[in-house]
A and B are shown apart, each in its own frame.
Chain A
Amino acid sequence: MVTETRPAGASAGPDPAGPVRRARRRSLYATQRRAGWILVLPAVITLALVTIVPIGYGFYLSLTSYNPVERGGPRFHGFDGYLAVLTSGQFWQAIWVTVQYAFGTLVLAVPAALALALLVNGRFPGVALFRAVLYLPRVVPLVAVSMIWLWLYSHDGLFNYLLDLVGLPPVNYLTDENTALPSLIVMRAWKALGGSMIIFLAGLQGIPNSLLEAASVDGCGRWRTLRHVILPLLVPITTYVVVVDLIYLAQSFSEIYILTSGGPLSSTTVVNMLIYNEAFEHYRLGNASAMAFLLFCLIFGLAYLSIRTMTKGGGR
């Protein structure tokens, strides 16, 4: 209805001297601007409250020693908190565990996901079902996955049964300092497999058939086609998979909280676990906030480094 736009036009400042067209355009712009803000406002208010303000508040907290158990509120002490965190062995240990966890998972999951994608790329009986089932672990909540693997790794669980079958003694997968982290990595790689496979599959299907035909006309066998045509074309998508997974894996928490709580002897205490303990077990909110910002830097750095090395290694 035309009447809808008029009041807004009037409120935007009438321009009686100018031509009618300019006034109309200005009124249109004013209604658009108003509508834009109305549509954006609910999201902006919520985001300000739950992300923008917390980021600023968190940075302030990281510059204080805040422990809600002691009275008196946050005490400002500049970068002392960062210094304390950066000089503590505990923090570096957690960084090292996080890096091992993230890269260990990637090293297992990414090549396997690529192999799976190559396997289910094509038409053969049952392929749709296979793709769906292989994708399943990606969809299932991490907590549910942890519950299943809790049994697989338990004393009378599947893996010890398999060891028993070949005559090996049982292993305390999650309670032995040497096996806890690798066990978590294997589980997480299994969980990551399907999601990466689907992205690789999309990448494979984006390769034009003419290229593959040209390769075979030139006498490339299957493996040479894979090595010299398909893999180089997949470099950008591999970079994407690695960076996204890395950002995600560096923030792991729930499976570790459930399966090992960071133990034994903090051999599985990733940075997120350390932050949680520091904040909600020891109530050192200032230090925990400093750690959170340092983790942010770590993730940023890792993502940047892997983008750099992978785009260089691809030779494109």
Chain B
Amino acid sequence: MSARPRIGGSGRQRTLVAGAITILVAMPFIWMVSLAVKPKTEVFGYPPRLLPAQPTLDNFSYVWNSTNIPVAMTNSLIVAALTVAGNCVAATAAGYALARIDFRGSRLLFTAVLGSAMVPAVVQLIPLFLIVKGFPLAGGNDLFGQGGSGLLDSYAGLVLPMLVQPLNIYLARQYFLDMSPELADAGRLDGAGELRIFWQIYLPLARPIVATIAILSFTGAWEDFLWPLVAVSSPQMQTLPLALSSFAGSGVIQYGPLMAGTIIAIVPVIVIFIVGQRHFVQGLGSGGVKG
């Protein structure tokens, strides 16, 4: 018996076991890639073979040239970028104010933020739909929100529910709470205004949490499905999940192009995670998730 208090075998043996299990878990992804690079005849051939006899990128060019995926990709990028911007600016600023500035009503505001984070999204879905549809003076609506479709089928309507997320305010607040209040006092002694103290002293030091918020809001916006399903009706405004879903739902499913489209939808999130991983772990580590 080994004296080491470790679970499982050691060294090479563990690599073998863990490697085998990892490949098993990764199987769906491996088949996804396999299907995406197969010509049509092989996709529908039986039995399914993991390695394509004649690998091809035809599925990708088909998806790119003759489906709604490129339009949806652009829409998804715009929606995600706006969501990231809104959360990085407004949620971070609010989190800072709730943590570092003592003003009347800040406790109550924080409680309201926490409370609204606990309510499931579906509770807000129907009223939000009516509010967005009845938005005054938008999409053919009059001053009282009658007559048109409001912000439905628009970027503003798609982004609005995700623009400022309570969880991000909470994360930012916890992060700023851990930072020293003396920095602000030093700034005040030097005559800096409160907004400048936030902008020039605290914000640059809070880069990890801003990166974390950016990643969380990007992936959240990227994979959101229920709200776009409700808020969008025209193909021109579809986001990627909607486009994939309607592609899968139309007649006989063409798995080759479908998997190519799925890969296109997956790659950006993976890139974001690889690029942002270091910041992300830092941000969560020194922020709220400690306790």
Which A residues are within 8 Å of any B CB, using their own CB?
1-2, 4-5, 28-29, 31-40, 42-44, 46-47, 49-55, 57-58, 61, 116, 118-122, 124-127, 129-130, 133-134, 136-137, 139-145, 147-152, 154, 156-158, 161, 164, 190, 193-194, 209, 212-213, 215-216, 220-222, 225-226, 230, 247, 250-251, 253-254, 257-258, 272, 275-276, 279-280, 285, 288-289, 292-293, 295-296, 299
B103 with A32: CB separation less than 8 A: yes
> When the two chains form their complex, are residues A33 and B94 in contact, meaning their CB atoms are under 8 A apart?
no
Residues of A within 8 A of B258 (CB): 147, 150-151
Q: In the complex, what distance in Å separates the CA atom of A230 from the CA atom of B196?
A: 48
- CB-based contact A42/B164 at 8 Å: yes
From A53, A118, A137, give the contact of B25 (CB < 8 A): A137
Q: Which residues of A contact B166 (CB under 8 A)?
A: 47, 51
Of the stretches B14-22, B58-66, B136-144, the one at the interface is: B14-22
List residues of chain B with CB within 8 A of the CB of A156.
Answer: 44, 46, 48
Given A4-B191, A35-B195, A216-B3, answer yes or no on A54-B131 (Cβ-Cβ < 8 Å). Answer: yes
Whether A43 pairs with B164 at a CB distance below 8 angstroms is: yes
- Given the interface contacts A124-B10, A215-B5, A288-B126, does A150 sit within 8 Å of B244 by beta carbon? no
Q: Using an 8 Å CB-CB cutoff, how does the interface string of B183-223 with A read, 1 for contact, 0 for none? A: 00000100111111010000000000000000000010011
A119 touches B17 (CB 8 A): yes
Alpha-carbon distance between A49 and B127 when the two chains are bound, in angstroms: 10
- Please tell me if the beta carbons of B191 and A148 are within 8 angstroms of each other in the complex: no
Q: Cα distance A16–B32 when bound, in Å?
A: 76
Describe B's contact surface by its main secondary structure. helix
> Could you tell me the distance between the alpha carbons of A31 and B194 in the complex, rounded to whole angstroms?
7
Do B226 and A276 touch (CB < 8 A)?
Answer: yes
Q: Which residues of A contact B27 (CB under 8 A)?
A: 158
Q: Given A139-B270, A149-B28, A150-B248, is A253 in contact with B225 using a C-beta cutoff of 8 Å?
A: yes
- Fill in one digit per residue for B1-33: 1 if any A CB lies within 8 Å of its CB, else 0: 101111110111011011101100111110110
CB pair B194–A35 under 8 Å, yes or no, is yes
State whether B195 touches A32 (Cβ < 8 A): no
Report which of A35, A215, A251 forms a contact with B97, defined as CB distance below 8 A: A35
Pairwise interchain contact B161-A50, C-beta atoms closer than 8 A:
yes
Given the known interface contacts A124-B14, A190-B25, the answer about A222 and B7 at a Cβ–Cβ threshold of 8 Å is yes
For residue B225, give the distance in angstroms from its CB to the closest CB of chain A.
4
> B271 CB to closest chain A CB, in angstroms?
10
Indicate which residue in A158, A216, A253 contacts B31 across the interface (CB closer than 8 Å): A158
User: B191, A2: Cβ atoms under 8 Å?
Assistant: yes
On whether A296 and B119 interact (CB within 8 A), knowing A47-B164, A54-B131, the answer reads yes
**A-B residue pairs in contact (CB < 8 Å), sample of 15:** A33-B103, A33-B104, A39-B93, A58-B123, A58-B126, A58-B127, A126-B18, A130-B18, A141-B240, A143-B240, A145-B28, A148-B31, A158-B31, A272-B122, A285-B126
B265–A144 touching, CB < 8 Å: yes
How far is B94's CA from A37's CA once the two chains are assembled, in angstroms? 9
Which chain A residues lie closer than 8 Å to B77 at the CB level? none
Which range contains the number of B residues in contact with the other chain? 35 or more
* Cβ–Cβ < 8 Å partners of A149 in chain B: 28
Closest chain-A Cβ to B274's Cβ sits at a distance in Å of 9
Q: Nearest B residue to A151 by beta-carbon distance? A: B255
Residues of B whose CB lies within 8 Å of any CB of A are: 1, 3-8, 10-12, 14-15, 17-19, 21-22, 25-29, 31-32, 35, 44, 46-48, 86, 89-91, 93-94, 96-98, 101-104, 106, 109, 112-113, 116, 119-131, 160-161, 163-164, 166, 169, 188, 191-196, 198, 219, 222-223, 225-226, 229-230, 240-241, 244-245, 248-249, 253, 255, 258-259, 261-262, 265-266, 269-270, 273
A51–B101 touching, CB < 8 Å? no
Q: Which of A5, A57, A194, A258 lies in contact with B193, CB distance below 8 A?
A: A5
Contact call B193/A122, Cβ cutoff below 8 A: no
User: Are the C-beta atoms of A55 and B116 separated by less than 8 Å?
Assistant: yes
Of the residues B3, B109, B248, contact of A44 by C-beta under 8 Å: B109
Given contacts A39-B97, A51-B116, A55-B124, 11 further A-B contacts (CB under 8 A): A36-B102, A40-B94, A47-B164, A47-B166, A51-B119, A54-B123, A134-B22, A141-B219, A141-B223, A148-B262, A258-B249
Of the listed residues A2, A125, A139, A275, the one surrounded by the most CB atoms of chain B closer than 10 A to its CB is: A139
**Assembly CA distance A37 to B101 (angstroms):** 9
Please provide the 4 A-B residue pairs with the shortest distance between their CB atoms, ordered closest to farther.
Answer: A35-B194, A141-B223, A36-B103, A212-B5
Specify which chain A residues have a CB less than 8 angstroms from the CB of B94 in the assembled complex: 39-40, 42-44
**B91: which A residues are within 8 A, CB to CB?**
43
Q: How far is the CA of A122 from the CA of B90 in the complex (A)?
A: 40
A6 to chain B, nearest CB (A): 11
Point out the residues of chain B lying under 8 angstroms from A32, CB to CB. Answer: 101-103, 194
Docked complex Cα distance between A280 and B229 (Å): 10
